[in-house]
């Protein structure tokens, strides 16, 4: 079984919840445990929120693309924006690094903790793509 979904939506804060619903449906179809589903919801929420808050500086009419690909072995999530980009990716990924004192700088920490691989590609003034992979072989219930 191989599946692929792609959704492009506007950078409205309310769409973060819709992105979460999509990953939760995919995860449920993959028979993932509730705790894994919760983690994936956090991961999507962080990536999409980053695009809205940092990529687009809360501008509400910009496109965000969420792409989900999976088979029995792995789940790949891609979140792409065409926002301002990240000048220093390494710095942005440091725990507790935040450009806003009201925020905790935990977005990338959660993405790194809950996924097996995290890649960030970014070009200033062109946008950012976050690609995350979760290996499913160890966490899915084996089917006998």
Partner 1 sequence: MLIEKNIQRQTLTLNLQGELDMNTSETLRQAIDTEIERRGIRTVILNLEEVSFIDSSGLGVILGRYKKLLPMGGKMIITNVPSHIYKIMELSGLPRIIEFENTPSRKMEGREK
- The residue annotated as part of the active site, out of 67, 103, 121, 140, is 103
> Is 106 among the residues that bind partner 1 (CB under 8 A)?
yes
What's the half-sphere exposure (Cβ side, CA atoms, 13 Å) at 42? Answer: 16
> Is 87 among the residues that bind partner 1 (CB under 8 A)?
no
Q: Return the DSSP state at 52.
A: I
> Is 141 among the residues that bind partner 1 (CB under 8 A)?
no
What's the N-to-C CA distance of the chain in angstroms? Answer: 17
Query: Is the CB of 48 or the CB of 84 nearer to partner 1?
Result: 48
Q: Which of 20, 54, 80, 134 binds partner 1 (CB under 8 A)?
A: 20
> Is 42 among the residues that bind partner 1 (CB under 8 A)?
yes
CA distance 59 to 97: 22
Q: Which of 9, 10, 38, 76 binds partner 1 (CB under 8 A)?
A: 38
CA distance 76 to 100: 29
């Amino acid at each position: 079984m191989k599946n692929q979904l792609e959704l492009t939506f506007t950078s409205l804060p309310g769409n973060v919840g819709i992105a979460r619903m999509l990953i939760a449906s995919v995860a449920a179809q993959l028979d993932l445990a509730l705790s894994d589903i919760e983690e994936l919801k956090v991961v999507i929420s962080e990536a999409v929120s980053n695009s809205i808050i940092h990529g687009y500086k809360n501008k509400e009419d910009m496109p965000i693309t969420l792409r989900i690909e999976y088979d029995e072995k792995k789940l790949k999530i891609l979140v792409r924006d065409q926002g301002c980009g990240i000048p220093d990716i390494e710095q942005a990924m440091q725990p507790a690094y935040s450009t806003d004192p009201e925020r905790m700088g935990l977005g990338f920490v959660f993405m790194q903790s809950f996924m097996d691989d995290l890649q960030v590609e970014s070009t200033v003034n062109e946008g950012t793509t976050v690609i995350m992979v979760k290996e499913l072989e160890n966490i899915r219930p084996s089917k006998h």
